């Protein structure tokens, strides 16, 4: 019998979430972001599931795009960080990729390259994230240089990235949006601005293209959920089983360091999942799990291959009971990856992308 840990991937939920992003912005096109192996869900399987819906995909780098092309994915793919050296432009052309342009050396490389067909390029503006992009005062001149080379560059857009679109306080988001919108108006430029939180909550940021990412996988990126984000469906369910049950006396410790001490005579379930599978070792006692669809709490530090859960109040729980680390249980109960992430003092992105290959993906609805 195989180890019971599985990452179930619901491709129908993925499509539901993409349609939500698309329907929230009916006058935009929506790039489906598949970077980091589709946030840990499997980029090839997710791309195939969305191929009849999404007009373009986005990844971080050439290697991620090459994997999709090798799997037969033919729709346009945007390199969100552009190329990392000029020599990559040959592969960009051969694979029909689109590129972000965020640095002067990338501009020079594009203008020195002689493609058979011009390359779609999106010019990145540093509107306040201060990570990648040209300062607003530089943008008009760079835009003019690229526009003056239509045999090399085509379909120019302005793009930027919001630092606080997820926050309840919108002041800095609006400052960033104003910067790019003023440039877009001056240059008569189409835009690609909205990430997941802006797609969900800020229609004024919707441009010619939007870039929904983590929302596609059912995670709510907003500090305060809204009506749209509440309809997101979880795509990954990380599930395992109880493989042993321990009966311990009040005061007895559980796990490394004895962090958890039983407050009463307790039943402890041992679950086949640990940080060697990608479950976060920083999870505190009480981090929620679903045992046979009922909530229970983590009891003790996460080990490499196992974790322990207090099942004292679940008398029917036993060896073989289903344990959902996040996602949807067999009885329909849902444990949000966002809630689990809060107990781990992190965000859902790190949990989803951190699920390791030892937890096999099993796809449904494809």
Phi, psi for residue 150 in degrees, rounded to 5:
-65, -20
Query: Known catalytic residue: 35?
Result: yes
Which position among 18, 35, 217, 279 bears the catalytic label?
35
- Considering 18, 48, 172, 256, which one is annotated as catalytic? 256
| 172 catalytic per annotation | no
Residues forming the active site: 35, 256
């Amino acid at each position: 019998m195989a180890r019971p840990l599985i990452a179930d991937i619901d491709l129908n939920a993925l499509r539901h979430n993409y349609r939500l992003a698309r329907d929230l912005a009916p006058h935009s096109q929506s790039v489906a972001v598949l970077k980091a192996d589709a946030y840990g869900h499997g980029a090839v399987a997710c791309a195939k599931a969305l191929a009849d819906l999404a007009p373009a995909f986005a990844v971080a780098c050439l290697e991620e795009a090459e994997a999709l092309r090798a799997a037969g994915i033919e729709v346009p793919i945007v390199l969100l960080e552009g190329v990392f050296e000029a020599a990559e432009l040959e592969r960009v052309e051969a694979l029909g990729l689109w590129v972000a342009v965020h640095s002067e050396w990338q501009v020079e490389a594009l203008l020195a390259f002689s493609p058979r067909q011009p390359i779609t390029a999106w010019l990145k503006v540093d509107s306040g994230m201060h990570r990648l992009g040209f300062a607003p005062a530089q943008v008009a001149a760079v835009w003019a240089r690229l526009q003056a080379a239509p045999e090399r560059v085509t379909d120019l857009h302005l793009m930027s990235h919001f630092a606080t679109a997820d926050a309840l306080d919108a002041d800095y988001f609006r400052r960033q949006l104003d910067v790019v919108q003023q440039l877009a108006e001056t240059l008569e430029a189409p835009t690609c601005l909205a990430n997941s939180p802006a797609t969900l909550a800020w229609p004024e940021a919707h441009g010619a293209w939007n870039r929904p990412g983590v929302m596609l996988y059912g995670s709510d990126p907003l500090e305060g959920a809204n009506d749209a984000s509440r309809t997101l469906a979880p795509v990954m369910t990380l599930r395992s089983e109880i493989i042993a049950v321990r009966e311990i006396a009040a005061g007895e410790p559980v796990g490394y360091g004895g962090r958890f001490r039983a407050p009463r005579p307790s039943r402890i379930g041992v679950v086949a999942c640990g940080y060697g599978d990608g479950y976060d070792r920083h999870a505190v006692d009480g981090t929620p799990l679903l045992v046979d669809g009922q909530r229970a709490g983590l009891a003790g530090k996460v080990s490499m291959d196992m974790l322990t859960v207090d099942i004292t109040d679940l008398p029917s729980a036993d060896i073989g009971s289903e344990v959902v680390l996040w996602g949807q249980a067999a009885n329909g109960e849902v444990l949000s990856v966002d809630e689990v992430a809060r107990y781990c003092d992190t965000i859902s992105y790190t949990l989803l992308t951190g699920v390791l290959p030892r937890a096999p993906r099993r796809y449904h609805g494809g």
